[in-house]
């Protein structure tokens, strides 16, 4: 049983950041403990019964895959995350430079606690901005290694992409990002942002106003569409759901 405890005062479920609706609270799938004033609910049963959940505030997680500092990718990410915050998201940043992430090894039986914590942070977010320098026409090895650790944490959620290049247009790295994300059954915004060296000044600031505008739209859209997609996926992700619920039930047991 997937269950959760929800304090009556805010009915806030921390791990998945959802709010319990009144109809769910009074349903047979939630038990109210009068002593602690906490609801204990079977999430799946409650969803299956059609009691909606809506989450309080979307969290947009930015992930930057450059090991360089100062980093053009990071500068771009700051602009997009600021716009996400201004659009109502709680924003967080995972800078891969600062993480101790071993090379992903499918044979490794034990996952270090530090890696589990990172995966939990990813799972807690509702939408993502992925930023990478273009390396040899693709994404950085650091970002690819990071993504190899993830699957259930990101299924069904929305991604926006930004790429920093030397002189290229970034098309190749962006295409690879889009492909990777589709293989984990996640969504991509229909446009992305690429900037090359000449779009930055010597201090590393992004000077191109057109690109700043595009990044702001990316941050806004990943917030607004990210919330819509997350809510729909969460409603549809019901164990044993039929074809009328689309692809989400395939990910119900994760």
From CA 206, how far away is CA 142, in angstroms rounded?
23
| The binder of ligand FMN chosen from 34, 136, 210, 244 (CB under 6 A) | 136
| The binder of ligand FMN chosen from 42, 46, 59, 73 (CB under 6 A) | 73
Cβ neighbours of residue 85 closer than 8 Å, sequence gap 6 or more: 91, 219
Q: How far is CA 236 from CA 8, 20, 144, 253, in A?
A: 25, 16, 29, 13
3-state class (DSSP) for residue 12: strand
Among 16, 10, 1, 7, smallest CA distance to 152 is for 16
Query: Quick one: 66 or 188, whose CB is closer to ligand FMN?
Result: 66
Closest contact distance (angstroms) between CB of 82 and ligand FMN is 17
The contact mask relative to ligand FMN for 147-186 (x = CB under 6 A, - = no) is -----------------xxxxx------------------
* 130 class by beta-carbon count within 10 Å (0-12 exposed, 13-18 middle, 19+ buried): buried
**193, HSE (Cβ side, Cα atoms, 13 Å):** 30
192 binds ligand FMN (CB under 6 A): no
Closest contact distance (angstroms) between CB of 112 and ligand FMN is 26
The count of chain residues that interact with ligand FMN, using the rule CB under 6 A, is 15
- The single residue listed with the structure tokens 């998201």 is 89
134 binds ligand FMN (CB under 6 A): yes
From CA 155, how far away is CA 147, in angstroms rounded?
12
Q: Supply 95's token pair.
A: 């800078």
Q: Supply 42's token pair.
A: 């079977």
| The binder of ligand FMN chosen from 7, 21, 55, 135 (CB under 6 A) | 135
Closest contact distance (angstroms) between CB of 39 and ligand FMN is 46
Which region among 86-94, 120-128, 134-142, 175-183 touches ligand FMN (by CB under 6 A)?
134-142
CB-closest chain residue to ligand FMN: 166
Look at the chain and count its residues.
Answer: 254
Which region among 14-22, 37-45, 121-129, 133-141 touches ligand FMN (by CB under 6 A)?
133-141
Which residues of this protein are in contact with ligand FMN, per CB under 6 A?
Answer: 66, 68, 71-73, 133-137, 164-168
């Amino acid at each position: 049983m997937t269950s959760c405890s929800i304090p009556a005062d805010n009915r806030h479920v921390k791990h998945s950041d959802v709010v319990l609706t009144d109809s769910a609270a009074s349903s047979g799938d939630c038990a109210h403990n009068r002593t602690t004033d906490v609801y204990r609910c079977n999430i799946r049963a409650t969803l299956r019964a059609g009691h909606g959940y809506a989450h309080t505030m979307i969290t947009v997680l930015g992930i930057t895959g450059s090991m360089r500092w100062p980093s053009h990718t990071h500068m771009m990410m700051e602009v997009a995350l600021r716009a996400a915050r201004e659009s109502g998201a709680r924003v967080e940043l995972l800078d891969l430079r600062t993480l101790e992430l071993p090379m992903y090894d499918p044979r490794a039986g034990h996952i270090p606690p530090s890696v589990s914590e990172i995966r939990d942070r990813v799972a807690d977010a509702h939408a993502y901005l992925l930023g990478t320098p273009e390396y040899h026409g693709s994404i950085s090895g650091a970002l690819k290694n990071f993504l190899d650790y993830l699957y259930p944490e990101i299924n069904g959620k929305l991604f926006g992409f930004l790429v920093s290049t030397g002189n290229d247009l970034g098309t190749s790295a962006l295409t690879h990002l889009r492909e990777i994300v589709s293989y984990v059954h996640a969504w991509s915004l229909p446009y992305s942002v690429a900037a090359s060296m000449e779009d930055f000044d010597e201090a590393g600031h992004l000077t191109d106003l057109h690109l700043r505008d595009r990044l702001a739209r990316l941050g806004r859209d990943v917030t607004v569409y990210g919330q819509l997609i997350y809510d729909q996926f969460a409603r549809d992700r019901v164990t044993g759901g039929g074809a009328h619920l689309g692809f989400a039930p395939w990910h119900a047991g994760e």
